Amino acid sequence: MHTDAGVEARLPIRSDMDLVWVRQHVRQAAARLGFGLVDQTKLVTAASELARNTLVHGGGGLMEASHVADGGTDGLRLTFSDTGPGIPDLDRALSDGYTSGGGLGMGLGGSRRLVHDFVVESVPGSGTTVRVTSWVSRPPRPREEA
């Protein structure tokens, strides 16, 4: 069983320096839970996109990281929340290339592809919460040769 020390955290997202801490924490937590290098990189990249959205569009907020377990499978759950303006049209925001600012518009739709579960809750005028979860993939059990 994994220890949750080094996985569970609540980190503020108030500056581009905080984005660095968020990425480093996610890298470390994912490694600790047993994610492989490519999956670690996907999680860190998704976290970077979502944390930057929290900072830039949400006016700052928080990331919470937690260890989740489903049967024998370990997962990492990351929740990004802010009390910013919210997202009026979620479908549009999730589509590739849509940006209300000067971005590429790849962050939200792209990070959804990088994780296993992706949930956005947004209330215009009161804030946005994005919760993502990925599961450690176990190497398939070698099959018996017939």
Ligand X SMILES: Nc1ncnc2c1ncn2[C@@H]1O[C@H](COP(=O)(O)OP(=O)(O)OP(=O)(O)O)[C@@H](O)[C@H]1O
Q: Which residues bind ligand X (CB under 6 A)?
A: 49, 53-54, 57-58, 82, 84-87, 93, 98-101, 103-109, 128
Please tell me whether residue 14 binds another protein under the rule CB under 8 A: no
Q: How far apart are CA 33 and CA 135, in angstroms?
A: 9
Smallest separation (angstroms) from Mg ion to the CB of 9: 22
Per partner kind, with CB cut-offs from 5 to 8 A, the member of another protein, ligand X, Mg ion, none near residue 87 is ligand X
Angstrom distances, CA of residue 89 to CA of 20, 60, 80, 123: 29, 20, 18, 10
**In the set 40, 53, 81, 128, which binds Mg ion (CB under 5 A)?**
53
Stretch 15-74 residues interacting with another protein (CB under 8 A): 16-17, 19-20, 23-24, 27-28, 37-38, 40-42, 44-45, 48-49, 52
85-110 b/e (C-beta count within 10 Å ≥ 16 → b): bbbeeeeebbeeebeeeebebebbbe
Q: Which residue is nearest to ligand X (CB)?
A: 103
Q: Which two tokens stand for residue 34?
A: 């047993």
Q: Which two tokens stand for residue 64?
A: 């919470």
